[in-house]
Structure 1
């Protein structure tokens, strides 16, 4: 399934496939013991990897990003594996998940990744070009709780489900870019939201 990914189109290096194989193996081992993800088959993990990198087709370039509530690594760790030249902050408050993220980071030698064992509201002194999040909370609250790590130029990429339209309405958003794939809606906001 992963071999169908167009690396050139997404600007991902060939090492990505090797990183994915290691990630899949580690997630399957750790996931059984620490309940990191409910879906641990190779096919399910590959589907989550594809879900994580799909937005690279349409988002603008960035130099740094923060992923809120990274959990087992989706989408933040996968994006960091795909774009190892971009500075990545994985913000995850749960210690077991932080231990897993650090283990994968070290196993893959990802020098671009910093794992923060905090809630995003507790993060200080950090500003990023892009904020990502998958299945953490509603859009309005995400924009509120990430205000300290964003600037007027920060872009937002939220991986959403079927409630997207009502969330856009509630947050009073304009100029949204929405892309869809399977059961996923990708909400992309370009600064000044």
Structure 2
């Protein structure tokens, strides 16, 4: 199944530019990944599944002016979201230099003018405030809320890509006004700002 078929079978629609960008991203990830160990699997089907996983929440989250993705790694979900939302200001916060190099290379290759890659730990980032904070497979919800305090606004929302422990984490973090959307083994935790 092609990426477009996979995405459209999940009731999502993107323009041709997005799919062209994904093709370039996949090619670059496979080239760099062989050398730099950026991500688990470099099989095209697995990359396509990760791309779908990254954009799936666009079905149910509000539109935001800006977002920051914490610990972007090889690009999921932040880089893919930046490709899908070219009119949204995107910040990828990643402390590991070889991953930052890869993200910057993809940014340049795709001319992603909406994107800034920040090589730092999120808790050390200054002078940045966004209205959506995203993260996949970084740490538990409580700690994520804590370490991103310096980049949030009073009205910021959160989108965390979680696994099976999501309900326990929500309880521990004492969050309100949230939705959990499930797809396969993924739980998308969307905490709506005010």
TM-score range, shorter chain: over 0.9
Where 2:68 maps in the other structure, the secondary structure is strand
Equivalent residue in structure 2 for 1:42, among 21, 40, 44: 44
Q: Who is 1:142 aligned against?
A: 144
Q: Who is 2:131 aligned against?
A: 129
Q: TM-score, normalised by structure 1?
A: 0.96
Q: 1:107-158, CA deviations, whole angstroms, 9 ceiling, x for partnerless residues?
A: 0110011000000011101000100000000000000010111011101000
- 1:14 CA drift (Å): 2.2
- Whole-angstrom distance in 2 between the partners of 1:122 and 1:28: 31
Q: Who is 1:177 aligned against?
A: 179
Q: TM-score, normalised by structure 2?
A: 0.95
**Displaced runs of 4+ in structure 1, greater than 6 A?**
none
Where 2:133 maps in the other structure, the secondary structure is strand
Q: How many residues were matched structurally?
A: 191
- Whole-angstrom distance in 1 between the partners of 2:8 and 2:62: 18
1:13-32 alignment to 2 at 5 Å? 13-32=15-34
- Structure 2 residue runs without a partner (length 5+): none
- Whole-angstrom distance in 2 between the partners of 1:60 and 1:79: 13
Q: Who is 1:157 aligned against?
A: 159
Q: Who is 2:170 aligned against?
A: 168
- 1:89 CA drift (Å): 0.3
Cα RMSD (Å): 1.3
- Whole-angstrom distance in 2 between the partners of 1:130 and 1:11: 22
- Structure 1 residue runs without a partner (length 5+): none
